[in-house]
Amino acid sequence: MKLVATMLQVADTLEDGSQIWKVSVAVTDAPTDIYIQVAADPTSGQWLLERVLFTQEAAKYAE
């Protein structure tokens, strides 16, 4: 099984500096868009996954 995740866009930047990203995730040939919250690691500067948004939370950002 192959998992492919592609960051599509930054949907929002929150007051604490973390961001909401729209991500396309595919385990098979049918990708699904999800929204995740990420935060920058102060040491490495890399973005780290904080959490996956619930459906109700993601509805705010869905088109």
Instruction: Report whether pLDDT(60) > 90.
Output: yes
Number of domains composing the chain: 1
Place of tokens 């960051």: 7
In a domain, 63, yes or no: no
Residue 27: predicted pLDDT: 86
Answer yes or no: is 10 within a domain. yes
Average pLDDT over residues 37-46: 95
Record the tokens describing residue 17, joined without a space.
């500096």
- Whether residue 34 is contained in a domain is answered as yes
Range of the domain at 11: 4-58
Exposed, middle or buried: residue 10 (CB in 10 Å: 0-12, 13-18, 19+)?
exposed
Residues of the chain with pLDDT > 90, as a percent, come to 81
The pTM for the full model equals 0.87
- 5-35 pLDDT, tens digit per residue, is 999 999 999 999 999 999 999 987 788 999 9
**Tokens, residue 49:** 């996954």
